A and B are shown apart, each in its own frame.
Chain A
Amino acid sequence: QKEVEQDPGPLSVPEGAIVSLNCTYSNSAFQYFMWYRQYSRKGPELLMYTYSSGNKEDGRFTAQVDKSSKYISLFIRDSQPSDSATYLCASSGGYNKLIFGAGTRLAVHP
């Protein structure tokens, strides 16, 4: 079993839809959770960084962590074609080592 599981998709939605991206993790020691966006042929860009359980909102993006179920989510409201990218979740128990999910390819069509 991988430490971080993520459905690779692809996920295709119409412009303006609410997108829900999800990951599960197995290591109870994980306390730091990140979401990255990666455009084709680019490096990953940090979108959201959360510590422990709870929600964090930044513009159209909301990150949610439920440590009881080991479930992390990223919601994108009013999705735009420019949101089309691969979204990677990552978790860490500290010590700076990030464990990444497989990444979900998202396509937002006009």
Chain B
Amino acid sequence: SAVISQKPSRDICQRGTSLTIQCQVDSQVTMMFWYRQQPGQSLTLIATANQGSEATYESGFVIDKFPISRPNLTFSTLTVSNMSPEDSSIYLCSVTGTGGSYEQYFGPGTRLTVT
């Protein structure tokens, strides 16, 4: 499976500011995703990061709040904009396996605390 890294691993931010999270994969992948894991809860898909086009957002998530870039097949960024304490979560990127399979592999996550 691909090796996935995320930066930063954690951050503490003030409300009203923005943070950009990077996801780097060691091989080219077709599909990349961004998830949120709120404290004590499970994972919720934010959006699918599409290479060369706009991301596809899930219900409840909007581009103005969570802009996503996918400039190539190994890299993506997620920005959390105009943060509030409710945005305190772990943000995870994932990629699908090879050969069109549907399993997903996750990065280590970015732990965000908004004060």
Q: In whole angstroms, what is the CA distance A32 to B107 when docked?
A: 21
Could you give, for residues 26-37 of chain A, a 1 whenever the CB lies within 8 Å of some chain B CB and a 0 otherwise?
000000101010
Given known pairs A101-B42, A102-B42, A103-B42, the reply for A92 and B102 (CB within 8 Å) is: yes
Instruction: Tell me how many residues of B have a C-beta within 8 Å of chain A.
Output: 23
Using CB atoms, name the residue of chain B closest to A49.
B103
Taking the complex as formed, is A88 at the interface, i.e. its CB lies under 8 A from any CB of chain B? yes
Q: With A41-B111, A42-B109, A43-B108 in contact, is A100–B43 under 8 Å at CB?
A: yes
CB contacts under 8 Å to A, within B27-67, are 31, 33, 41-45, 48, 58
| Residues of chain B contacted by A102 (CB below 8 angstroms) | 41-42
Chain A contact residues, CB within 8 Å of chain B: 6, 32, 34, 36, 41-46, 49, 88, 90, 92, 94, 96-98, 100-103
